[in-house]
């Protein structure tokens, strides 16, 4: 604990020193201290600075050095445009040109078309063309997150010549742990690891030491599927190919970590009934703007529930005690449906649904609903009988909970599976949404049974 406190104090002292050097224009001292920090800490310090102090950083850091910081920047998407506007346009363009292509594309995707065109125009032609090649790929696909800074080796090369290629291209490559092998038509034919290259005889052909069992992904494949493939095979890099198996680029593990974080945040937002949840929303207005669409939709569904209760007004007039159990039945159904929803969405997200039959999942959840419904129903019958002294009222509430929990469990598992079948993100079947739907079903079941057996209650 003491070590942690000392580390925090030390970090604060270094940050204060860096700020002081910027304020006093001691730029050489700033560079010396700043580059002693880890790249991630450099980026965090940069983000915390005022615009005025950031402008002084641009005076003492080259576009190449600034590119390294930007690649570690964990900024909100909407912050990139104002940050770039702080820089001289030529400086910003040179910085983007020095970033890995996939990272530069991620930044440019947050700008409008006019700004993108402006930066590409003043950028050097080679860098601009590499970025343009990636910009035309649809967002959230393998093509949009791949990098073109990789090393490929012809399959008829010797190990000696391959090492020479590797030494010359390694400084600009994003990773060299895997080297992908191509044939004369530039098609992916194999992969060789850095260990294999180091340990092989120099005169051996790459074709003889490579592995031809290469797992690759199509350039148009969804990034979530790419992440799943990378996780399943524990790869550090994954080749991206076109429909003719030409090697177009690679996707590295750090990009996949960003994808997993993005997808998890997106799914959690939808499950919470928020269009785009971000803990860094700086104003109540921005936060409310993202939440209101779902809340308004749920408001209308809630009005439908209220209308259903109104239609059973005669039943409530005769047996007012029924109103006491509405929150109990609706709440139990909503909670059960949300649990089933979470299980179904997780099975879809992890790919488990491909390893087992969808019907197997549905039957399992139906069995779960049957067991939980029976258990809760019996408990409620006993509790209501002791509390109200009416076995018929207890039976009514117990049977309603029994039926509602089975229906809620089936709804929670079926809705995301149906959405998945029609290529709709199943996370859209959010917790609040499925809860409201199950409220409607549970009210119909409860008052339907109560109306049918009214003679036993009055």
Q: 323 and 411 share a domain? A: yes
What is the token pair recorded at 111?
Answer: 């700008």
Sheet holding 247-252, edge to edge: 217-218, 237-241, 247-252
* Residue 295 and residue 443 in one domain: yes
Q: Checking DSSP bridges between strand 178-182 and strand 152-154, what pairing results, if any?
A: parallel
Report if residue 276 sits inside a domain. Answer: no
Q: Which of 126, 143, 165 is the last residue of a domain?
A: 126
pLDDT for res 142: 92
Full residue range of the structural domain in which residue 185 is found: 152-267
Phi, psi of 148 (to 5 degrees): -100, 0
Phi, psi of 33 (to 5 degrees): -75, -35
Helix axes 89-98 and 125-135, enclosed angle (nearest 10): 70
Per DSSP, the chain holds a count of helices (H) and strands (E) of 23, 6
291 plus 392 within the same structural domain: yes
Q: Which of 201, 232, 267 is the last residue of a domain?
A: 267
How many domains does one find in the chain?
A: 3
Q: State the Cα–Cα distance between residues 251 and 241, nearest whole angstrom.
A: 11
SS3 151: coil
CATH number at residue 242: 3.10.580.10
Domain match, 440 and 355 both: yes
For residue 190, give the H/E element and its range: strand 188-193
Tokens standing for 308?
Answer: 């259903």
Tell me the C-alpha distance between 280 and 76, whole Å.
8
| C-alpha to C-alpha distance for 356 and 359, rounded to whole angstroms | 8
232 lies in a domain? yes
pLDDT attached to residue 330 = 83
Would you say residue 132 lies in a domain? no
Place of tokens 């119909």: 444
Binned average pLDDT, 10 residues per bin, the chain of 458 residues = 57 86 90 91 91 91 92 82 92 94 89 91 92 88 90 93 92 86 93 92 93 92 88 89 93 85 63 52 63 70 77 76 84 84 75 68 87 92 88 88 89 82 66 76 86 72
Q: What is the pLDDT of residue 5?
A: 46
Query: What are the φ and ψ backbone dihedral angles of 42, each rounded to 5 degrees?
Result: -60, -45
Whether 335 and 366 share a structural domain: yes
- Indicate whether 243 and 392 sit together in one domain: no
The CA angle 200-205-208, to the nearest 5 degrees, is: 80
Residues 318 and 412 in one domain: yes
Instruction: Please tell me whether residues 414 and 303 are part of one structural domain.
Output: yes
**289 and 436 share one domain:** yes
Q: Tell me whether residue 210 is in a domain.
A: yes
Phi, psi of 141 (to 5 degrees): -110, 170
Which residue, among 19, 72, 25, 86, has the nearest Cα to 49 in the 3D structure?
A: 19
- Let me know if residue 335 belongs to a domain: yes
Domain end: 111, 126, 141, which one?
126
Whether 292 and 424 map to the same domain: the answer is: yes
In a domain, 277, yes or no: no
User: Shortest CA distance to 344 belongs to which of 418, 400, 275, 401?
Assistant: 418
Residue 278 included in any domain:
no
Query: The domain that contains 77 carries what CATH number?
Result: 1.25.60.10
The reply to whether 302 falls in a domain is yes
DSSP class per residue in 80-112: HHHHHHTS-HHHHHHHHHHS-HHHHHHHHTTS-
What is the predicted pLDDT for the residue at 208?
A: 93
Same domain, 329 and 437: yes
CA–CA gap between residue 181 and residue 189 (Å, rounded): 6
Q: Residue 339 sits in a domain of what CATH number?
A: 1.10.357.20
pTM (2 d.p.): 0.62
- 40 with 13, same domain: the answer is yes
Specify the pLDDT at position 231.
85
């Amino acid at each position: 604990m003491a070590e942690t406190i000392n580390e925090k104090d030390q970090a604060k002292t270094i940050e204060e020193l860096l700020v002081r050097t910027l304020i006093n224009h001691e730029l050489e001292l700033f560079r010396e201290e700043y580059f002693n920090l880890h790249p991630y800490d450099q980026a965090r310090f940069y983000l915390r600075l005022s615009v005025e102090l950031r402008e002084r950083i641009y005076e003492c850091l080259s576009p190449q050095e600034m590119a390294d910081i930007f690649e570690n920047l964990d900024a909100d998407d909407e912050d990139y445009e104002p940050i770039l506007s702080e820089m001289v346009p030529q400086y910003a363009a040179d910085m983007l040109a020095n970033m890995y292509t996939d990272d530069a594309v991620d930044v440019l995707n947050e700008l409008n078309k006019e700004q993108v065109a402006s930066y590409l125009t003043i950028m050097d032609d080679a860098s601009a063309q590499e970025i343009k090649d990636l910009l035309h790929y649809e967002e959230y696909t393998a093509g949009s997150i791949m990098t073109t800074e990789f090393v490929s080796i012809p399959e008829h090369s010797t190990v000696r010549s391959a090492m020479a290629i590797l030494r010359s291209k390694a400084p600009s490559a994003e990773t060299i742990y895997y080297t992908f092998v191509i044939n004369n038509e530039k098609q992916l034919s194999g992969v060789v690891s850095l260990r294999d290259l180091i340990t092989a005889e120099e005169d051996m052909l790459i074709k003889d030491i490579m592995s031809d069992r290469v797992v690759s992904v199509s350039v148009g494949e969804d990034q979530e599927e790419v992440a799943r493939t990378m996780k399943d095979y524990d790869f550090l890099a994954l080749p991206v190919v076109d429909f003719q198996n030409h090697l177009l680029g690679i996707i590295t593990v750090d990009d996949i970590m960003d994808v997993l974080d993005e997808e998890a945040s997106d799914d959690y937002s939808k499950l919470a009934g928020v269009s785009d949840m971000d803990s860094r929303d700086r104003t109540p207005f921005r936060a409310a703007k993202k939440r209101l669409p779902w809340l308004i939709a749920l408001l209308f569904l809630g009005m439908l529930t209220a209308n259903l209760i109104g239609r059973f007004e005669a039943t409530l007039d005769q047996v007012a005690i029924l109103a006491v159990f509405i929150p109990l039945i609706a709440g139990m159904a909503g909670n059960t449906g949300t649990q089933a929803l979470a299980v179904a969405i997780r099975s879809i997200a992890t790919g488990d649904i491909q390893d087992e039959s969808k019907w197997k999942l549905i039957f399992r959840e139906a069995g779960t609903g049957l067991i939980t419904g029976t258990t809760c129903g019996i408990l409620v019958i006993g509790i209501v009988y002791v509390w109200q002294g009416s076995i018929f009222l207890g039976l009514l509430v117990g049977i309603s909970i029994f039926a509602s929990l089975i229906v809620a469990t089936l709804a929670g598992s079926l809705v995301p599976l149906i959405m998945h079948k029609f290529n709709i993100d199943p996370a859209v079947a959010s917790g609040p949404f499925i809860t409201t739907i199950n409220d409607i079903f549970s009210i119909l079941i409860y008052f339907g049974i109560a109306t049918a057996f009214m003679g036993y209650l009055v």
